[in-house]
Structure 1
Amino acid sequence: MTAPAPSALPQERRRPTLRDPWTALRVALAVGWLALALTTVLVGQRPGQLEDLRAAVDAGGVTEVRVGEGLEPGATGYATQAVVWRDGLLARRAEGWQVSPGVDAPTTLPVLDTDLAEELRAQGVRVLPLAERSAYSEVAGWQVPQQVGLLLSAAWLVMLFLLVGGPVPQRATRWAWFWLSWNPFGWLALLLLSGPFPGVPAPRPGAGRLTGGWAFLLSLVLGGGLLVPS
């Protein structure tokens, strides 16, 4: 009895090849995901706390910051003042209300007793002006340039085309992968595990698939929200 020809093998048992357009698309999107994730880390600003900044300054771990404009000289009321500093390779961002005397500010941010730039200069920190972005996107809690957010949105739409118009996905149903894809790491899992991918073992023949309901609950636990343009 002769072995079946490679073309007669079930799809999940064929060796993944970039000659398959769907596999090539998964690989291209995975490479793009890694590139955009690295860009987010390098140019994005991760939320931080003013208390963390002050502690790092006291410990000598921060010697230079960038501070945004607050209230204009002579103005009354309150305004947001932002500060960005480096925590290793990561850029951290914190905000507070700069408030003029006798004015009550909302409680959504910490209230600064004085101009943040003056406070940090008094502690020997080099203060540079912060050029605020006119438009940005929120990516999994990171503030990134709008161009990065647009590229991520475009890549997500291509991934959605792969999910809806491509072959029947492995390991989970289409709805299950849809819910998981709202998490950045769920997106990467979709590209690696929903179909043939070089270096990734195929699922066992007849193995069950995750359904949409369970995936929806899992996405709530993991946390969703890939992009929020602003």
Structure 2
Amino acid sequence: MKTKSQKLIIVGMILALGVGAGVYGLTATSADTSPSEDLVKAIGVDGIEGYIKTSDMNQDLPQTPEEAIQSMNEPKVDKYINLYDSNENIIGKFLLESSEDSNTAMEIDLELAKHTLKESDRPALDILEENLIALVQHDRKLYRSGFVDDQLADAMDFYYGEQFQYKFSNIESIEKNASIKNQLHITVLGERLDTTTDSVEQVRMMYAIRQSEQGDWDIYTID
């Protein structure tokens, strides 16, 4: 199954070869006749009806298969292009690619990791997965829901940021805490892009996930 990013690359390559978007078809566009051959009907981010330009869609397309693969493996950020009226005046923005549609940002095989744990400890990985997905997809509510209480969620808020784009690649280790009952330490490796500075840093995040007396699993810290 292709991700939205892969579909856009394929669509863009077809458009670059001269096949009209109305012929190939896009979920956000229509095959209706438009005022210009370069304009395709679309609905902008605020529900505004207008047109997008195929030339705008194609401007950042990879030129080689190697560049296409590299593009799919990079941290994804929301990408917008201009939305025009029939006279090609800019009237808004169109979301061409969403970071939330990227499946490449979560490369950890958590199902495989579960086989390293006792069945009673495996729910800890479900809590971990929800938190990682929340960071990748910028879902603040889901991110906060994994912590044991709101006070801790507030303290851990610095990991979450709209300027950050996360990509998680591996679990480095899973260890039982020797002194705290039913607590696992799970260390996750990945990368974080700061879109305000275009800088990428390696991240190593150790999650302390503990089961309460009531049987609930929660995050007690990220270090």
TM-score between the two structures when normalised by the length of structure 1? 0.21
More strand as a share of residues: 2
By percentage of residues, which structure has more helix?
Answer: 1
TM score, norm. by length of structure 2:
0.22
Determine which structure has more spread, i.e. the larger CA radius of gyration.
1
